[in-house]
Amino acid sequence: MQCHTGARNVQKIMVCLKRVVDYNVRIRLKPDNSGVVTDGVKMSINPFDEIALEEALRLRERGVAAEVLVVGIGPADCQQQLRTGLAMGADRAILVEHDDEVLPLTAARVFLRLAEREQPGLVLLGKQAIDDDCNQTGQMLAALWGRPQATFASKLEIEAGVAVVTREVDAGLEVISVDLPAVVTTDLRLNEPRYVKLPDIMKAKKKPLETLTLAGLGVAPAGGLRTVAWEAPQARQKGAMVTDVDALVATLRDKGFFN
């Protein structure tokens, strides 16, 4: 698809970023099982959200969009991940400060207020976060905003005010078209995010990063869910070698998998 800079289809793309424990870090629980250890642990942009940002930057580079805005919710430390987004190439950032846990419904309500304020032609975010795996925020945002949605995008094209999204389903590939503005959640195969270079990190320090609050946006934290405890998965048992099919059947029977 060829897009000409003289006729942009999307003036602004809003990308939602979440701060998570880096996927290369081994997760450890606190001694009292009240949560995950984060002190001194490397934090990064949620990988699926990073893919969403990369796609937004590529759309802007093709002339489809004029501006890329990154937004996030969390403590002041989230500025680090937003600055990383700016270093990747985003034009500006907004942090909605909130020190407590952010449930998907709260996040969707915050992003709704930002979408109403910023009027983006497209909202991109990862299909899920690797810390809670909820896969809910994008869908909730689309419902609250009253706009179309396309989830699990492995390919995205913008043409004449329409987003054409290829998504992977159980039966193969599904291609759908949604009118803009719309919400699109991104999957792993959509792209490979670029590396951030030192000069870009330095330039990002001068890009605008606005700080807001939930109360300032008129959003109250959603209730109804409470985490009572965390528990590590059981250690994987050592496998056993069998010599033939009869031995395999006997072993499975002894373990109670069938009578």
Structural domain contains residue 199: yes
Structural domain contains residue 203: yes
Structural domain contains residue 64: yes
What is the SS3 assignment for 9?
A: coil
With cut-offs at 50, 70 and 90, classify the pLDDT of residue 9.
low
Structural domain contains residue 197: yes
With cut-offs at 50, 70 and 90, classify the pLDDT of residue 31.
confident
Altogether, the residues listed in the chain come to a count of 259
Structural domain contains residue 44: yes
Structural domain contains residue 213: yes
The pTM (predicted TM-score) of the whole model is: 0.84
Beta-strand pair 65-74/92-97? parallel
The Cα 101–Cα 136 span in angstroms is: 15
The reply to whether omega before 31 is within 30° of 0 (cis) is no
Structural domain contains residue 238: yes
In this predicted model, what pLDDT tens digit does every residue of 193-250 receive, in sequence order?
A: 999 999 999 999 999 999 999 999 999 887 777 777 788 888 887 887 888 898 888 8
Cα angle at 129 between 126 and 130, to 5 degrees? 130
* pLDDT value of position 5: 39
CB 46 within 8 A of CB 74: no
For the domain that residue 122 is a member of, what is the CATH number? 3.40.50.620
Structural domain contains residue 136: yes
Does pLDDT of 163 surpass 50? yes
* Number of domains within the chain: 1
Beta-strand pair 92-97/19-21? unpaired
Q: 131: domain range? A: 10-254
